[in-house]
Amino acid sequence: MEVVRDKIALLVGACDEVGQAIGVRLAQKGATVIVCDTDYARLSILAEQIRESGGNAEANPVDSTSSVDVKRLVGDVIKQYGKIDILINNADARFGKPVGDASDEEWETGIRTNLNPVFFFCREVIPKMQAQKYGRVINISSLDYIGWPGRSSYSAVKSALFGLTRSLSLETARDGVTVNCVARGDVATSEMSPELAAKIGESLPVKRIGRPYDVARAVGFFASDWSKYVTGQMFFVCGGKSAHFSMSI
C-alpha cells in the first residue's frame, strides 16, 4: 500500500469530486495536502473535512491560468514548508463541439484552462524537485485523449498532456523525479443520475462505472515510492474501455 508520510503534496484542481478523493487519499496516507482551486469556500470545506478525518490539509486559492498567481502560490508553499514533494495537476474544464462549430475563443479557452496550468505549475515546481533530488508529478488526463467525436479540441489538449509528461520525465529522470499521467475514464459524480451511471457502467468491460476513489488510488501509487522506477507513463483508469475501443460491436 502506498505511503506518502511527511510529504508535502500540492493538489491543483481540488474542488471537483476526483480532486477531493485524491486529497483525502493522500492525507490518509500521511501527506500534508495543500488543496488549490479558485473557490476558496469549497477549498476550506475540503481542508476541514481532511483535518477532521485525521489528516493534514491547507486551503490555498489560486488562478491556475495565471502564471503570476501560480508563481506566487508555489513561493508561498516553499516559504512555509520548505519543499514540495508531490504535484498533482487535476485542473479540468470539459468542453466540446464539432470542429466546424468551434470558435477561436473556445479553442484558446481549452488551452488556457486545461494545458497552461499544468505547464505553469510544472515550470515552477519541477526545478525545486530537481534541486532536492526528489519529486512526484502526476498529471490527470482523460480517456478522450485517444480521440472522441465532437470533442476534438478537448481531446487535443488532453493528448498534449501526454507529450508534456513524456518530455518532462526525460528531463527529470536522473534527478529522482518521476512524471506520469493518469487517464481517467467514465467516473460517476453526484451530478450524474443513477440511471445514466448504470447505463454507462453496463457498457464497460468491468460492468460498472468508475468512482472518484478509483482515480485517487492510481494517483496514490504514482505519488509514493512504490512507483519510483516508473516514469513517463500513461496509466488508464477506465474499467477496460481503452482496450474495448479496439473491438467491433
CA distance 179 to 228: 10
From the list 134, 145, 154, 229, the catalytic residue is 154
Q: Residue 93 — φ and ψ, nearest 5°?
A: -125, 105
Distance CA 243, CA 249 (A): 13
**Catalytic residue list contains 145:** no
Q: If you count DSSP H runs as helices and E runs as strands, how many of each does the chain have, helices first?
A: 9, 7
**C-alpha distances out from residue 71 to 76, 180, 238, Å:** 9, 22, 33
Q: What are phi and psi of 136, to 5 degrees?
A: -130, 120
Query: What cell does 219 get?
Result: 494517483
231: left (phi over 0), alpha (psi -120 to 50) or beta: beta
Cell of 186: 467514465
Which three cell numbers, joined as nine digits, stand for 118? 499544468
- Burial (CB count within 10 angstroms: exposed 0-12, middle 13-18, buried 19+), residue 171: middle
Residue 96's Cβ-side half-sphere holds a number of Cα atoms within 13 Å equal to 15
- What is the distance of C-alpha 122 from the center of its chain? 12
Q: Using alpha carbons, select from 174, 135, 165 the residue that is nearest to residue 232.
A: 165
Q: How far is 55 from 41, CA to CA, in rounded Å?
A: 19
Residues with a catalytic annotation lie at: 154
